[in-house]
A and B are shown apart, each in its own frame.
Chain A
Amino acid sequence: MRFFRIIIAVLGFLSALVAPTWVPLVCIVILSLRFRAWEGILLGVMIDLLWLPFGAPITFFPFYTVASIIIVWGLEPLRLELLR
């Protein structure tokens, strides 16, 4: 399972550089469904730091950071059900 987690995380980080935007998002969701994936949040913040122009968060909203935090923490109950 740890191998699976690493593979998905590496895929997510690489796809943030080269793949269409939905691929890293799918990786975050897959990681969050099975693990307490702090790397999902790291992936989200990396996408924002990489691609989002610098500016006030109201103008340049860090969508991927916020979405990854919501996904990782929001999927906690569902993940616990799956892990039961």
Chain B
Amino acid sequence: MNAEFSHRSLHGHPRARRRLFIATTLILVILAVDFLTHGVVRGYVRSAAASLWVFTGSARSSITGTGYFSTRRSLAAENAALRAQLSEYQDRATAYAVVSEENVALRAVLQLAEKEKGITAPIVSSFRASPYGTFLIGAGVDDVSPGALVLTLGRFVVGKVTDVSDSTSLVSAILAPDVVTDARIGTSLVAVTGRGGGNARASVPRGVSVREGDPVTAPAFGGRAIGIVGRVESDPANADQTVYIQLPINVSTLKYIYIVQ
């Protein structure tokens, strides 16, 4: 009895252990198949997740639409709507400033503005669930191609299409945590480090004039804006000033994005 108990304690039930081993092997095989088929498996997983996201969205609307939570719901909805509206106005106002500045620059070098062709697509996943700073959009291989830029409706770059499957695409956020992007703030070229949620940080020499609301543009994305300066922290003991950058719109309220073809 003792010997049997000792055997079970040290190694567990052999059958259960074998089951776990087989499951681990199978999962590694799935990963290998996905790699060898250039992401076909993940395409299916993402399509299923996007469908579930859309389905739960309508289910949530149906449940809250029954009226059980009407008072709380109406207040929350009004609050959210006002916040979204405010964000949208800020987005548009800043976009206007960015466009004006861009126009001045374009006139100065006598270049014509390039017309952007693209499509609008819905966001079909959560922004905060991805550990890799990615999100899903409801546009597939017929609509977008890898490397396409993803903009807010106010024309701020939020990401880049990295994977494309039949009905969904994966977008890597520009301001995802620890993602470094070369950007221009005023006349200074700086490395902007993403912090997630549409926020980023950069160090700028203290001599450079930076004000809240200044647009932050990225030469790698054709000089498009990736955010605005939200706050500037300057310490006399430090040669650099810390600039906090943000998107003028709350990314979690985004429902549609614009993809530049």
Distance to closest chain B CB from A26 (angstroms): 13
CA distance A73 to B24 in the complex (A): 10
Q: Which residues of B in the span 25-62 have a Cβ within 8 Å of any Cβ on A? A: 27, 30-31, 34-35, 38-39, 41-42, 45-46, 49, 52-53, 56
Contact B129 A51, beta carbon cutoff 8 Å? yes
A78 to B130, alpha carbons, bound, how many Å?
Answer: 30
Cβ A49 vs Cβ B20 within 8 A = no
- A-B interface, 8 closest residue pairs, ranked by CB to CB distance from nearest: A38-B23, A54-B39, A21-B131, A51-B130, A53-B162, A49-B42, A49-B45, A36-B20
For A19, what are the chain B residues with a Cβ–Cβ distance below 8 Å? Answer: 126, 128-129
Chain A residues bordering chain B, tally (CB within 8 A) = 35
Residues from chain A with Cβ under 8 Å of B31 in the complex: 45, 48-49, 62, 65
Judged by a CB distance under 8 angstroms, whether B170 is at the interface is yes
Report the minimum CB–CB distance from A25 to chain B (whole Å): 9
B residues at A contact (CB < 8 Å): 9-10, 12, 16-17, 19-20, 23-24, 27, 30-31, 34-35, 38-39, 41-42, 45-46, 49, 52-53, 56, 125-126, 128-132, 134, 162-163, 170, 172
Q: Which of A18, A45, A53, A83 makes the CB contact (< 8 A) with B132?
A: A53
Please provide the chain A residues from 1 to 55 with a CB less than 8 Å away from any CB of chain B in the complex. 15-21, 36, 38, 41-42, 45-54
A50-B45, A50-B49, A53-B172 known; A21 and B163 CB under 8 Å? no
CB pair B34–A49 under 8 Å, yes or no, is: yes
Contacts of B35 in A (CB 8 A): 57
CB neighbours (8 Å) of B126 from chain A are 17-19
Inter-chain CA distance A18–B63, complex, in Å, is 18
Chain B residue at minimum C-beta to C-beta distance from A54:
B39
CA distance A84 to B41 in the complex (A): 39
Closest to A62 in B: B31
